[in-house]
Structure 1
Amino acid sequence: MLQTERHEMIMEKILKEQSIKTIDICNLLNVSRQTIRNDLEYLDSIGKLKKVHGGAILEKKSIEPSFETRSNNNLTEKKAIAAQAAQMIEDGDTIYLDIGTTVGEMIPHLNKFSNLTIITNSINFAYHLSQYKNIRVICSGGEMRNSEKSLSGHIAKKILENYYVDKSFIGIGGVSEKAGYTDYYVDEAEIRKLMIHHSNISYALLDYSKVNVIAIAKYANLSDIETVITDSKTPKSFRNILEDNGVEVITVE
């Protein structure tokens, strides 16, 4: 059995049971304890689960990795995904950029377009975009989360209710067949939900580490986002699940 197949089966079991024992996985997959220990250490290192004595548990759904950690994790994949996402934009578009770190990697690609209007709830993104003369920037307002320089809450939602866009680009806290798209902060999840419904087409930007992760707040079903842009490390089985839900999947190397 291939390593990626073992990882998929381990994640499938832990998502159902919340915790697993090493011996049970050894018996299920008919492999050695050391092989499973290595698998659990790897899955722990990419944030899929937490390795504990004798097995593993799911990470707490209310704790998001820091902005600095997320910005540096899987950076090669994020840059490739963002470059592909930028190719979906056309001159004259009105787009929404949410606060995701992968979405932020799109910004260096946007200076080549003419007459873009960009709506965002990220103060960081708004600042960087303001240096581009060809882009009109609308910032949502609202309560700021200091660690992210993100804006959300009642004021942000009230303002954004008045705007509709051609395309929205959505960062992902977690995605799974069981829960759909989820995020770690309820107020920010509400903003994502709103802008998905206020877009002609939505793009989810996700690298492989977000697959089979369930955060605390659901904001969309798999079928609510028309297109997913991901990397080739995302399991083929999950890409098939997305396609079965009517989602276009664009895979980058």
Structure 2
Amino acid sequence: MNLTKEERLKKIIDLLSKNKRLSTKKLQQLMQISISTLRRDLITLENTNSIQHTHGYVSLLENSNVEFTYAIRRDKNEAIKKKLCKQAAQIITDGAAIFLDGSSTLAFLPRYFSGKSNIHVITNNIHIASEVNQLKGIDLSVIGGEVSYRSNSIVGPRALEDLKTNYRPNVSFLSCSSLDENGIYMSDENQTLLKRTAIRVSNQTILLVDHSKFTKNDYILLCDYNDKDIHTIITDQLPSKKITENIQSNGINLIITK
């Protein structure tokens, strides 16, 4: 079984959440990976304050959760995410007000703002806000609320109220955790509520999703294809026939990057 690094990290967290404390030898056996790979993964998790690794044993820190740091998620499929963002940037017109959600995929979009003028950016992510703030001629607004632990995203009731009350973007750019033939899904409730609000207050919504999300399973439904909430989906590979049919039969524009 060949798991990606992100999948391995999630599996380690899941094992520790069930067992609380495991020896590195036992963890290696359960993970079915080499000791060198396990060692690198444990270093990654230690750096995110998710685990404690001492004297041959590994335990989950009390405040850990399965939402990994923004940097880890951003680095996964980086080249593909850049292609998606480059494609999305072509849709942005001068003078547009756009919302960028807190997903790691959208982290690369600001670098493609070159040549555009009078853009108004609204975001709930402090990393994206920092990136945008380095650019000249871009108006920046950050919604207020609670900063989610390690995700760099601002969520919660205040964030929802701020976005709902004070902003009307021309376009919202979002990502998701997964999609299948029935709809688009998330793995975090707070992020889901924020994205649903962004969809409601925007004139149109564009979803950026790489092909790795086609085979994942998540349980929180962001929206159905027939809800007419999503206007365009940008991805790097053609989804399965059933997913493609459901997307296009509901009038959603499907763009495959080259």
TM bin (shorter chain): 0.7 to 0.9
| Residue number in structure 1 paired with 2:114 | 111
Q: How far did 1:197 drift? A: 1.4
Q: CA deviation at 1:66?
A: 4.5
Match of 2:181 in 1: 177
Partner of 1:96: 99
Do residues 241 (structure 1) and 246 (structure 2) align?
Answer: yes
Calculate the TM-score normalised by the size of structure 1. 0.72
Stretches of 4+ moved more than 6 A in 1? Answer: none
User: Which runs of structure 2 are paired with 1:64-143 in the superposition (5 Å)?
Assistant: 64=67, 66-143=69-146
SS of residue paired to 2:154: strand
Partners of 1:229 and 1:70 in 2: CA distance? 19
Deviation at 1:63, TM superposition (A): 4.2
- Matched with 2:171 is 167
1:153 counterpart = 2:156: yes
- List alignment gaps of at least 5 residues for structure 2: 12-29, 31-64
What SS does the aligned partner of 2:117 have? Answer: coil
- Supply the distance in 2 between the matched residues of 1:103 and 1:227 (Cα, whole angstroms): 15
Query: What is the identity, as a one-letter code, of the residue corresponding to 2:248?
Result: E
Check the 8 A contact 1:64/1:184 in 2, yes or no.
no
The structural deviation recorded for 1:113 is 1.0
Tell me which of the two structures has the higher relative contact order, counting C-alpha pairs closer than 8 angstroms and 6 or more residues apart: 1
- Could you state the TM-score of these two structures normalised by the residue count of structure 2? 0.71
CA distance in 2, matches of 1:84, 1:140: 26
1:91 alignment partner, SS class = coil
Q: 2:257: which partner in 1?
A: 252
Tell me how far apart the structure 1 counterparts of residues 206 and 151 of structure 2 sit (CA, whole Å).
21
Native 8 Å contact 2:169 2:203 kept in 1: yes
- How far did 1:207 drift? 0.1
* d(CA) in 2 for partners of 1:155, 1:211: 32
Alpha-carbon offset, residue 153 of structure 1: 0.2
The superposition leaves residues 167-226 of structure 1 with CA deviations (integer Å, 9 ceiling, x where unpaired) of 010011111223x22222211110100111111111000000111423242222223201
SS at match of 1:155: helix
* From 228, 231, 238, the counterpart of 1:226: 231
The structure-2 alpha-carbon separation of the partners of 1:65 and 1:237, relative to structure 1 and needing over 3 Å to count, comes to: farther
SS of structure 2 residue aligned to 1:106: helix
Q: Is the 8 A contact 2:67 2:150 kept in 1?
A: no
* Uncovered stretches (5+) of structure 1, i.e. residues with no partner: 1-40, 54-61
Task: Summarize the Cα distance change of 1:64–1:214 in structure 2 as closer, same or farther, 3 Å threshold.
Answer: farther
Alignment check: 8 A CA contact 1:208 1:235 kept: no
CA contact (8 A) 1:111 1:134 kept: no
Q: Distance in 2 between matches of 1:69 and 1:148?
A: 10
CA deviation profile, 1:134-169 (whole Å, cap 9, x unmatched): 111110010001311110101101100121110010
Distance, in Å, in 1 between the alignment partners of 2:240 and 2:66 is: 24
Percent identical residues: 28
Structure 2 CA distance for partners of 1:66 and 1:149, relative to 1, 3 Å: closer
Match of 2:192 in 1: 189
The alignment covers a number of residue pairs equal to 202
In structure 1, the residue corresponding to 2:170 is in which secondary structure? Answer: strand
